[in-house]
Homo-oligomer: A and B are copies of this chain.
Amino acid sequence: MLFSTKAEYGVRLMVELGRQPGSMPISLSAVAEAERLPLSYLEHLVAKLRNAGLVTSTRGAHGGYRLAKPAEEITMDSVVEALEGQIAPMECFHETPEGKVLCSHENDGDRACATKLLWTRVQGGVTKALAGTTLAELVEFSGPDARAERVPVGSAA
């Protein structure tokens, strides 16, 4: 398996936040119930998303979480990376801040690193797929019917 349920649950969480039309936060327990996921586990995941600056939280009663940016501006590579750690096909791969891919045993023997060509291509394929998908797309895909542009009940706006 390429990814664990951390990515699965976390993306679902993000989609659930993206489905919310208003600007009021939703509690984790609401998300947990809607997606039938364990609340305590979601707490760990949402912490990663918050540290990555993808969601904001408000504490106390009627608190909860909101997207930190509009869903159109959130690409899934940042979401998955926040949840799973750096996306690399292999342990020896690390991406520099400038986006260059390095292999730790590059040329450590007498020959070129035999596998670098392959992993570079895989890396490119995954990155392209993730970075080319926005949260807004997933929100739209998840349920184009249930969310007309209506304001939440009792909204003063």
Q: Which one of A44-52, A63-71, A135-143, A148-156 is at the interface?
A: A135-143
- What separation, in Å, do the CA atoms of A139 and B118 have in the docked complex? 11
- What separation, in Å, do the CA atoms of A117 and B90 have in the docked complex? 25
One digit per residue, 1 when the CB lies within 8 angstroms of any chain B CB and 0 when it does not, for chain A 16-34 equals 1000000000000000000
Q: Is the CB of B15 within 8 A of A115?
A: yes
Q: A122-B129, A126-B122, A128-B125 are in contact. Are A114 and B11 (CB under 8 A)?
A: yes
Residue of B with least CB distance to A120: B129
Q: Is the CB of B88 within 8 A of A117?
A: no
A58 within 8 A of B: no
- What separation, in Å, do the CA atoms of A142 and B110 have in the docked complex? 10
Q: A2-B2, A11-B114, A115-B11 are in contact. Are A129 and B137 (CB under 8 A)?
A: no
Question: Please, which residues of chain B bring their CB within 8 A of the CB of A100?
Answer: none
Residues of chain A at the chain B interface (Cβ within 8 Å): 1-3, 5, 7-8, 11-12, 15-16, 36, 76, 87-92, 109-118, 121-122, 124-126, 128-130, 132-133, 137-139, 141-143, 146
